[in-house]
Amino acid sequence: MSSSLINTVTPEMIKRYNRPGPRYTSYPTVPVWNHGQFSEKYADSLYQEGLKDRPVSLYVHIPFCRQLCTFCGCNKYITGNKQKAEEYLSALDNEIAGVAKFLRSRKKLAQVHFGGGTPTYLNTDQLERVVKMIVSRFDVIQDGEWAFEADPRVTTNNQLEALYKLGFRRVSFGVQDLNRDVQKAINRNQTVKQSWQTLTNARSLGYTSINLDLVYGLPLQTHQSFCKTLEEVDKMRPDRLAVYSFAFLPGMFKSHKRAIKEKDLPSPEEKIQIYLEAIRFFSESGYVMIGMDHYALPEDELALALKNRTLHRNFMGYTTLHNMAQIGVGVSAISDFGDSYWQNSKDLDQYLGESCNKKLNPRRGIQLDKEDLLRRELIETLMCHGEISIPDFETRYEINFSKHFEKAWTQLEKFDQEGLLKLNSRKIDLTPIGMLFTRNIAMPFDRYLTESSSMNFSKTV
């Protein structure tokens, strides 16, 4: 995206579009899923998956962290009590055993992702145990994607080495912001040296894909201060970068309410300037923008998938893998079987209790109907490619597009007049400016979103 295009984003546009809205890592979004006890239905779904021949993508949630970063919106549990982690590993073992049992046939495992919290909160023996729990129950395919998230402040070279030996080749490090004042405001002191050192260690061990996470819109962050962070991060030259918009949710997270002062947050105008600066900066330094908040080096497979239109999006973000049964294990973990979503309890003690009793017990779930599947595919295509072929959807879903989405169509015409997209009877084509507001453009296709339900989400800018 060129600087001149960026200059066409007006303050009025920002005002109009900066409203709460989903990030669409799933559709329907999590808040509309049903609550209840779904042991039997989930077991049944796993059984159905076992009969299908799709490979598995396994997400393992490790919720522990040593210290609370006050901006954090993840499902985490702050503790120094190592016993809790031991208890957790037993529960995890029971859950993975249960999942494997209900899958019936032994499944091929194509992708493993350890997320958190901080997976490297666990020591090398514990990490090895988790891997053993997995490989003893699945057939690990060669060249599968094994990835983990790690906090450079607590990740040792020993851990990186152990995880490499266990088959991990991808790692994602949290950086957020390198400015000391911003770090103080989010209770996360992380020196530039710590980030550099951990990344260099990973690289020299042979990790082939290294991602860094940054967050824009944090307290005390300014356009100028973030530019310095960008310059420093660019010198590290990670393969991928995620630059997330700070999801400030004081109604949902106590630490946001108590520790983040609203007056310290950049104004919406400054926040979008920071965002646009990141786009300009990384585009000029040779990264390819992937969707709304990711960047990759041109030779990275995400960049190639974008070019070849084989890019997909799921709970873990953008991916090249498709048509897998995604199984989530651990507290708050989500499973996606294509036509149903499930989420484990978000409460650690409840999760521990249920898994220790050898019970699988997702607490939320939703079965998708044909209309949901259509809308999900539309939203995913918009998020990944910024382009919809109308005849393609009309043929496959047997609909008259403009009639079926009559209300959304009126909204699309407005977006067209405002220069966010080009609309005709065959195509919806987002303009480069429209790509900045993809979440807003996807929202009219969300049949569950109402003015009040949208308030549960962070703002789109």
Ligand X SMILES: C[S@@+](CC[C@H](N)C(=O)[O-])C[C@H]1O[C@@H](n2cnc3c(N)ncnc32)[C@H](O)[C@@H]1O
Kindly tell me which of 111 and 118 has the beta carbon lying closer to ligand X: 118
Q: Tokens representing 409?
A: 């169509």
Closest separation between CB of residue 47 and ligand SF4, Å? Answer: 33
* Cα–Cα dist 124/159, whole Å: 6
Asked if 341 contacts 31 with a C-beta cutoff of 8 angstroms, the reply is: no
Q: Tokens representing 361?
A: 């017990």
Strand stretches in 28-128, DSSP E:
34-35, 56-62, 64-65, 77-78, 108-116
**Amino acid in the structure at residue 75:** N
Closest separation between CB of residue 424 and ligand SF4, Å? Answer: 44
Closest separation between CB of residue 174 and ligand X, Å? Answer: 2
Which of ligand SF4, ligand X, none binds 68 (CB below 5-8 Å, type-dependent)?
A: ligand SF4
The residue with its CB nearest to ligand X is 174
Contacts of 339 (CB under 8 A, 6+ apart): 367, 368, 373
Which of ligand SF4, ligand X, none binds 341 (CB below 5-8 Å, type-dependent)?
A: none
Asked if 446 contacts 22 with a C-beta cutoff of 8 angstroms, the reply is: yes
Taking CB under 6 A as the criterion, the residue among 116, 119, 152, 217 binding ligand SF4 is 116
Q: 3-state class of 217 per DSSP?
A: coil
Taking CB under 6 A as the criterion, the residue among 20, 117, 144, 152 binding ligand SF4 is 117
CA separation (Å) from 50 to 21, 102, 305, 328?
35, 7, 29, 15
Which of ligand SF4, ligand X, none binds 178 (CB below 5-8 Å, type-dependent)?
A: none
**Closest of 268, 271, 199 to residue 234, by C-alpha:** 199
Closest separation between CB of residue 369 and ligand X, Å? Answer: 31
Kindly tell me which of 14 and 72 has the beta carbon lying closer to ligand SF4: 72
> By the criterion CB under 6 A, which residues form the site for ligand X?
65, 71-74, 115-118, 149, 151, 174, 176, 213, 215, 244, 246-247
Closest separation between CB of residue 151 and ligand X, Å? Answer: 3
Q: Which residues pair with 243 in a beta bridge?
A: 214
| Binding-site string for ligand SF4 from residue 170 to residue 209, where x marks contact by CB under 6 A and - marks none | ----x-----------------------------------
Asked if 120 contacts 201 with a C-beta cutoff of 8 angstroms, the reply is: no
Which of ligand X, ligand SF4, none binds 244 (CB below 5-8 Å, type-dependent)?
A: ligand X
Render 320-355 in DSSP notation, one character per residue.
S--S-EEEEESTT-EEE-SSEEEE--SSHHHHHHHH
| Residue 62 engages ligand SF4 in binding (rule: CB under 6 A) | no
| Residue 72 engages ligand SF4 in binding (rule: CB under 6 A) | yes
How many residues of this chain bind ligand SF4 (CB under 6 A)? Answer: 11
Which of ligand X, ligand SF4, none binds 213 (CB below 5-8 Å, type-dependent)?
A: ligand X
Q: Where does this chain bind ligand SF4 (CB under 6 A)? A: 65, 68-69, 72, 74, 76, 116-118, 151, 174
